[in-house]
């Protein structure tokens, strides 16, 4: 058998390290002490206890007690505010564009290429027909923006492989030069 106990505390702020005063059995009493101390927050804590008084679950919620709202707040007004904020959230979320999936990204990238004109192979420099197009996204780690380069898809030309081989040979030359500089200092 479990029981639920609700307590209230007057709070200086909404963080767990803020000053707190209480506990109180009613929200009105906590609000009165919060106003007296010049604070604007009340912590409503719901504790679930077992038959031995052991705390099984604690749920906390802070709410602001601005004087004008605290006097006028009724359960009906609170529900109306909740409904308005939920409706506004749904309306905002409905207008947020969803991220594109990989197929949509690929489609728009190809469409953009078609609008720009005939793509050129990054290796051989020849024009590529759209049925022979292989696009590759390149991510630069030196701050330059990402780019998409194009090759012939035809396996006989091996454009993508030739391009990759040249880049690896350049990287090998640079690493060999660094190794030589390191060996000269030793």
Which residues have C-beta within 8 Å of that of residue 78, sequence separation ≥ 6? none
CA–CA gap between residue 152 and residue 166 (Å, rounded): 16
Q: What pLDDT score does 165 carry?
A: 92
pTM tops 0.75, yes or no:
no
Domain count across the chain:
2
| 10 shares a domain with 66 | yes
Q: Where in the sequence is the domain holding 81, given as residue range(s)?
A: 3-94
| 176 shares a domain with 124 | yes
Contacts 24+ apart (CB under 8 A), 96-100: none
| 115 shares a domain with 179 | yes
Asked which of 94, 112, 143 is the last residue of a domain, the reply is: 94
CA–CA gap between residue 107 and residue 115 (Å, rounded): 12
| 15 shares a domain with 90 | yes
Integer CA distances (angstroms), 161 to 52, 152, 170, in order: 73, 10, 14
Contact 28, 48 (CB under 8 A): no
CA–CA gap between residue 66 and residue 40 (Å, rounded): 6
pLDDT tens per residue across span 27-76: 888 888 888 888 888 888 888 888 888 888 888 888 888 743 545 566 77
pLDDT tens per residue across span 79-135: 776 777 776 767 766 776 778 888 888 788 777 766 667 788 888 888 888 788 888
């Amino acid at each position: 058998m479990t029981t639920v106990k609700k307590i209230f505390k007057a709070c200086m702020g909404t963080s767990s390290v803020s000053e707190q005063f209480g506990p109180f059995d009613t929200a009105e009493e906590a609000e009165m002490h919060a106003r007296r101390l010049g604070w604007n927050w009340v912590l409503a804590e719901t504790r679930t206890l077992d038959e031995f008084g052991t705390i099984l679950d604690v749920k906390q919620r802070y709410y602001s007690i601005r004087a004008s709202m605290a006097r006028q707040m009724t359960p009906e007004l609170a529900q109306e505010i909740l409904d308005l904020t939920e409706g506004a959230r749904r309306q905002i979320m409905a207008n947020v564009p969803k991220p594109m999936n990989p197929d949509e990204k690929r489609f728009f990238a190809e469409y953009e290429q078609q609008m720009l004109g005939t793509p050129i192979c990054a290796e051989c420099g020849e024009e590529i027909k759209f049925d022979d197009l292989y696009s590759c996204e390149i991510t630069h780690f030196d701050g330059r923006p990402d780019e998409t380069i194009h090759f012939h898809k035809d396996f006989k030309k091996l454009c993508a492989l030739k391009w990759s081989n040249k880049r690896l040979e350049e990287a090998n030359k640079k690493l060999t030069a660094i190794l030589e500089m390191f060996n000269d200092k030793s």
